[in-house]
Structure 1
Amino acid sequence: MSKSRLIVHRVSIFGTSTRYLAEIRARGIVPRNSFNLERLRTVTSTGAALSANMYNWFYEIGFSPHVQLVSMSGGTDIAGSCTCWRKSFASCVRWRDSGQSVRHGRRNFDPSQNAGVPVELLDLPGELVCTKPFPSQPLEFFGVGGNERYQKSYFERFGDTVWCQRDFIQFQKDTEGLIMLGRSDGVLNPSGVRFGSSEIYAVTEEFPEVEDSICVGQRRMSDIDERFLLFVKMKTSEAFTADLATRLKLAIRKRYSSRHVPKHVFEVADIPYTVNGKKCEINVKQIVSGQVGAVSGTVSNPSSLDLYRKYANLPVEVERREPGSSKL
């Protein structure tokens, strides 16, 4: 949309994606300096978790302070959302939307626990679920086999009464809000420690020489445990170095723990995305793990997936421990 058209329409609500906001920030575009935003009241963002860094940029540099940023988590199938942000609270915290059972009881589910049994996971990560039907819940999918696909998509993990959104979340005791950690099917799980990819992206975003990144777990038939791989795309004028890889690992360790540190950091020329701006973590995970999976037609740059195929042939690393030592 041109500058003149935006001014003429005086938009009050602007729906966009995390990827779009990241792109304009990376290009040095400052909307509040280029457009008349007097009528703009709300910006909604979806498609991926919005980091605290992006939130701070939105209010401090990109947009006007009076604009409410609403980062939503939901889906096309429900034509709605499960969570949203409130400007007046911490940038990483969301709240349950009305009409959803996750708003009542502060519960999520963790498949590593007793399957299908609700557990209080305050300050611990787990699955986002809705334990009761909600207004926009579909009855089934259209077409032949629609009900089977519907049940497999949302009820396979915890039974036919619990909607599993497949988002990985963490509740907070002090605010009773929640933090989005990424898609649960893309959760990283090295040595049994589960964490979301958005935690890693919050660190890589702080490196000005890194344009983009994607992180996935790798576990092939020959691997005893899962290991965590981080891929970075450098800005055009920047070079990938061993020093950068070391600094990335140190920054991740400092913010979280040694278990969050990637086993390897590699440079790639491109990061695969879907047409609606989501990183294709599952596709990359399958490729580096030597699994054969169909590439969805929603991948906007499918040729980029070929860049990751060679990493399925990384040497198998055998853990060596001293006699009498134990694995933490």
Structure 2
Amino acid sequence: MERQVTDTVPQWVPTDEDIANARITDFTGFVEKRIGETFDDYGALWRWSVDEPDAFWAALWDYFALGERGDTVVSGMDMPGAQWFPGTTVNYVDQVIRSARTDRPAIVAVSETGPDREISWQDLLGRTAAFAETLRSAGVQPGDRVVGYLPNIPEAVIAFLATASIGAVWSACGQDYSAKAALDRLGQLEPKVLVAADGYLFAGKYRDKRDDVDAVRSGLPTVQASFGLDDLAASTADRLEPVAVPFDHPLWILFSSGTTGLPKGIMHGHGGVLVEHLKAVALQSDIGPADTFFWYTSPSWMMWNFQVAGLLVGSTIVCYDGSPSSPQPDALWDIAARVRATVLGTSPGYVLGCMKAGAEPKKTHDLSALRSVGITGSSLPPTSSLWLRDHVGVQVSSISGGTDVVSAFIGGVRSVPVWPGELSAPYLGVALAAWDESGEPVLGEVGELVVTKPLPSMPIAFWNDPDGSRYHDAYFDVYPGVWRHGDWITVTERGSVVVHGRSDSTLNRHGIRMGSADIYQAVERLPEVVEALVIGAEQPDGGYWMPLFVVLADGVNLTDEVRDRINDTIRTEVSPRHVPDEIIVAPGIPHTRTGKKLEVPIKKLFQGRDAAKVVERSAVDDPELLDWYVTQRRR
């Protein structure tokens, strides 16, 4: 959290050839010719993009030749409340169709057992068209919800594209979520259709999910039709004809982590996602028709949606539903070499695991096609970034954003150097700053990440939030009219950004977000457990420590049997990826006076913060408990 920003030399500097060939350079030339100005560097282009949002987003629309648009780019600049491209109609899938090609596959499907499976663009669009007709035959209409309980496989992409093409709304959970966790999310949406797989292979073991699928189906009384993978492979159709929908028509619903209560359903619109993802994938990530884009992810995580956006620019995307570390710790590097990935995305935790395992990716794999390694999920420490420099040897594009905008606020740019432990620059159009508690911008100091002007991919609404109060309270209750994201950042003098971690209590393990409420609901039902508190604390070496503190019932000790029962409950009812690193018996759980568990203050304690600055003791229901947690930090 308090990591210092120090002057250092860049670990990667773009060559003249990198800059000349970068899509951001081509876009800069397009804008310069359009407005009659010259930009000396990326920073100057970024400042123009946030100072002139109308001109920037109109230029982006025209650069990608997205078709006819209304004269108005944005109506009002209030947050929330700005209306983007009013009167303009789009469909996300139209851009996928425009990008189709015959010389490369659309998707490469990879599994732990192989062989790799290629899906051509013709097959992708044909199967999408056929399933779109299947959905129509099942009575699905624009605005209806279609939900998936699926691993990261091509059929998930096909189901999403088919849903979007007819104006219905997509939402999904990966099958690493239990049936209950999936229902906590998908059950809110009153879906008309469920698409599910029987199971998936992970870490050498097949995970049979048929019982969970039955439980999900039973828990969704509004579902009128259910489909399996065979239904997505049964036939193809000749033409895929997406329906035109308003710019802000819902495309998908993603879910927050559910830290307190049920997860929040976050709706994004077709148009906002389309322009944001074209910007983020093509201009910021420099991905195009010659690329193979592989990000290790799950349909539960927004990076799945981000990777699907590779189809918008004609790249080949890679779907992998297995373990990143099976059968060997360097499994992702092996896949990247095999599929000739040009962009590989992973997490700081995976990089740390490779470091500890003594992996030598550049020596043991042919990574000659690889151009960039993307990193997200948590902060990447300088040591891990330098390890990537030495053992992979390409640009490290560390990004930070969120489900909230289904994109990044900050990240790499092909024309900007990379400094160890820093994110190179804010993304175009993102009016980003670090603010102190009084709402003043700070430079070179830790502050709250804020965005002071609206973006097209900010949520169009939260699900089941008719008056917008939940949406407002999520981002705008601290700084009225300004988006507060919940990250601690430092903006450096050179314009790069250091992200110090979440300022809320989301559990973000291996890039998969989970709310503490999910774990509490499972663990606190056990007769042995009175109450529990879980934190996820980013460590200085890039690790992530997730302990579970438990108050046990009278007469119960933390035997191996009790420990196994707690872990097994979390593994089966919540997620196998969120089994705690350690279970610690506590004398009690501290709360605010209104009964909320002090997750964030306890997390900060274990990240080395001063206890006196973490929480006001008079605001705690049992202040003496804080002393016990301080002693545990020193154990």
With the length of structure 2 as denominator, give the TM-score of the two structures.
0.29
Match of 2:430 in 1: 100
Q: Conserved in 2, the CA contact under 8 Å of 1:47 and 1:276?
A: no
Partners of 1:279 and 1:179 lie apart in 2 by 29
With over 3 angstroms needed to count, the CA separation of the structure-2 counterparts of 1:316 and 1:47, relative to structure 1, is: closer
Identity among equivalent pairs (%): 23
User: Which blocks of at least 5 consecutive residues in structure 2 are unaligned?
Assistant: 1-111, 113-330, 506-536, 548-569, 600-623, 631-635
With the length of structure 1 as denominator, give the TM-score of the two structures.
0.54
Q: Conserved in 1, the CA contact under 8 Å of 2:395 and 2:418?
A: no
With over 3 angstroms needed to count, the CA separation of the structure-2 counterparts of 1:55 and 1:155, relative to structure 1, is: same
Match of 1:164 in 2: 484
Partners of 1:4 and 1:167 lie apart in 2 by 33
Match of 2:458 in 1: 137
Q: CA deviation at 1:25?
A: 1.6
With over 3 angstroms needed to count, the CA separation of the structure-2 counterparts of 1:123 and 1:289, relative to structure 1, is: farther
Q: CA deviation at 1:169?
A: 0.9
Give a deviation string over 1:71-118, Cα, whole Å, max 9, x none.
10000221110111467242133211112011xxxx32222x2xxx3x
Match of 1:179 in 2: 498
Q: Secondary structure at the match of 1:33?
A: helix
Q: Conserved in 2, the CA contact under 8 Å of 1:85 and 1:93?
A: no
Give a deviation string over 1:151-197, Cα, whole Å, max 9, x none.
222112111x2111111011222x132211111236xxxxxxxxxx7
With over 3 angstroms needed to count, the CA separation of the structure-2 counterparts of 1:144 and 1:124, relative to structure 1, is: closer
Q: Conserved in 1, the CA contact under 8 Å of 2:589 and 2:597?
A: no
Q: Conserved in 1, the CA contact under 8 Å of 2:342 and 2:372?
A: yes
Partners of 1:155 and 1:122 lie apart in 2 by 22
Q: Conserved in 2, the CA contact under 8 Å of 1:17 and 1:277?
A: no
Match of 1:307 in 2: none
With over 3 angstroms needed to count, the CA separation of the structure-2 counterparts of 1:28 and 1:110, relative to structure 1, is: same
User: Which blocks of at least 5 consecutive residues in structure 1 are unaligned?
Assistant: 187-196, 206-211, 217-271, 296-310, 318-328
Partners of 1:18 and 1:288 lie apart in 2 by 32
With over 3 angstroms needed to count, the CA separation of the structure-2 counterparts of 1:140 and 1:34, relative to structure 1, is: same
Partners of 1:153 and 1:276 lie apart in 2 by 28
Match of 2:400 in 1: 73
Match of 1:266 in 2: none
With over 3 angstroms needed to count, the CA separation of the structure-2 counterparts of 1:78 and 1:287, relative to structure 1, is: farther
Q: Secondary structure at the match of 1:108?
A: strand
Partners of 1:23 and 1:68 lie apart in 2 by 20
Q: Secondary structure at the match of 1:92?
A: coil
With over 3 angstroms needed to count, the CA separation of the structure-2 counterparts of 1:130 and 1:5, relative to structure 1, is: closer
Q: Secondary structure at the match of 1:181?
A: strand
Match of 1:109 in 2: 435
With over 3 angstroms needed to count, the CA separation of the structure-2 counterparts of 1:72 and 1:138, relative to structure 1, is: same
Structure with larger RCO (C-alpha < 8 A, sep 6+): 2
Q: Does 1:83 align with 2:410?
A: yes
Q: Conserved in 1, the CA contact under 8 Å of 2:489 and 2:497?
A: yes
Partners of 1:213 and 1:290 lie apart in 2 by 23
Q: Conserved in 2, the CA contact under 8 Å of 1:47 and 1:277?
A: no
Partners of 1:293 and 1:121 lie apart in 2 by 30
With over 3 angstroms needed to count, the CA separation of the structure-2 counterparts of 1:275 and 1:40, relative to structure 1, is: farther
Partners of 2:444 and 2:579 lie apart in 1 by 26
Q: CA deviation at 1:45?
A: 0.8
Q: How many residues align?
A: 213
AA aligned to 1:97 is Y
Partners of 1:93 and 1:80 lie apart in 2 by 18
Partners of 1:17 and 1:277 lie apart in 2 by 14
AA aligned to 1:183 is R
Match of 1:290 in 2: 590
Partners of 1:278 and 1:127 lie apart in 2 by 27
Q: Which structure features the higher share of helix residues?
A: 2
Give a deviation string over 1:115-167, Cα, whole Å, max 9, x none.
xx3x23112211111100012111211235683332222112111x2111111
Match of 2:472 in 1: 151
Partners of 1:124 and 1:215 lie apart in 2 by 27
Q: Secondary structure at the match of 2:462?
A: coil
